[in-house]
Structure formats: C-alpha cells, structure tokens
Copies of this chain bind each other. A is one copy, B any other.
Amino acid sequence: MSDLERISITLPKDLAKAFSASCEQKGYSNRSEAIRDLIRGALVKEEWQDPAAQVAASLTMIYDHHTRQLNEKLTELQHDHEDLIVSTLHVHLNHDNCLEVIVLRGEAQKVQDLSDKLRTFKGVKYAQVCFATDGSDLG
C-alpha cells in the first residue's frame, strides 16, 4: 500500500449517525475503510465511462454446450481477441449448461464489444460484464 494522507471532513450529525450504523451492520471496522470503498467504487465507474480507458473486467456467461459448433466459435472468438483475454474459468453447472468467466484487460469499449458479441451467439443464454479496474489508481 502506498503512503497515507490524512484528510478531515465534516458530516451533518444525522448523516454521521446513519452512516456509522450502516458501517457497523456491514461489518466495517471503521468509517475510514468504508469511505475508501465508496471513493474507489465511484472512480471505477468513472473510469468505465471513458471508452478508451485501460480497464480490467470479468465477463460471466452461461451457455449450452450442446449447441452445434458453439465451442468452436467461442474458442475462435477468444483467440481472435487474445490481446484482451487474460484467463478463463469454466464450471459445469448442470447437464446442459456451462458457466464461464473470462478475465479481460484492455480498452473499456473493446471489453464491452466482446461481451455484446458473445451474447449474440446461438446457445449463449447470458453474458454480463462486471466492471473492475487494474487497480493502478486505487492506492
């Protein structure tokens, strides 16, 4: 962790009280940690609004592995984007369905485009991007 900076903020007493109750209920050991999480969450959201930002992300999809040629098409698409794709985790959900998580790094727009493309494949029932970050700004 990088060096720390101490800052002082003012909160209306009612707000401070409600926030303390919320932190305690969630299990935060102190409000400082909770505020850091809020700030990081806001920065990650902003990062993703810039289509050219360098981001990290996970893409979760559900697909039916019986669908004809789907495996081949998925493999081919992933190899066409090997600059974006870091690693893949595959889980057998049930007789028909697989869950696959793909970790990606690259431009925000390219990550979104790949997710949109995968969703259109016959047999892919669900595809959702989780916005993360490469963490370089998060201290």
A residues lining the B interface (CB < 8 Å):
1-16, 18-19, 22, 26-29, 31-44, 46, 56-58, 60-62, 64, 66-67, 86-89, 91, 93-94, 96-97, 99, 101, 103, 105, 116-117, 119-120, 122-123, 125-126, 128-139
Closest Cβ–Cβ distance, residue A101 to chain B (whole Å): 5
* Set of chain B residues within 8 Å of A11, measured between Cβ atoms: 4-5, 7, 36, 39, 139
> In the assembly, what is the distance between CA of A5 and CA of B13, in Å?
6
* Set of chain B residues within 8 Å of A103, measured between Cβ atoms: 89, 91, 99, 101
Partner of A130, one of B7, B29, B58: B58
Which residue on chain B has the smallest CB distance to residue A11? B5
